[in-house]
Structure 1
């Protein structure tokens, strides 16, 4: 049985270094049905990373670029942080602002 800490550490690693292979392994481990398209697991990770308070400016830009390159610009109806809104959300939780690199 996986601990919550282990689960969160694995997600953080996936957010820090998203890859197609890791995203597919995560997708399968969560018990999701086979994706409708092969890019869906990695796109899901990039969508979630846009809402992650620890995503650097470079990570936010990388995830946006990935999603737009794969046709998700029209369906990106999520709260996607910018560096300004991410740092404002971090401040509300008593966290310091992030620099471009972790």
Structure 2
């Protein structure tokens, strides 16, 4: 991210190999994925009983003001994976999910 931000400042990012469409969105998602793994690792090193499990999920294209109400998923359905992860009784951490399934990133 530091390299990208420096290249944005220098106005050289387009030749730096970064995504040319949805650049900010794509890189912010990459950053959230990396941060999820970093924090998950940090918390998983804790003693038993003190661990915190960190995961990340994509709710999908949700019918909200952010999508101009054009999404195809209700807010309730979008929250399903988040609730699923919050109630998970397995030691799963540092993963990315969509529709209750782990997605590789």
Q: TM-score range by the shorter chain?
A: under 0.3
Whose radius of gyration is greater, 1 or 2? 2
Higher strand share: 2
Task: Name the structure with the higher helix share.
Answer: 1
The TM-score, its normalising length taken from structure 1, stands at 0.27
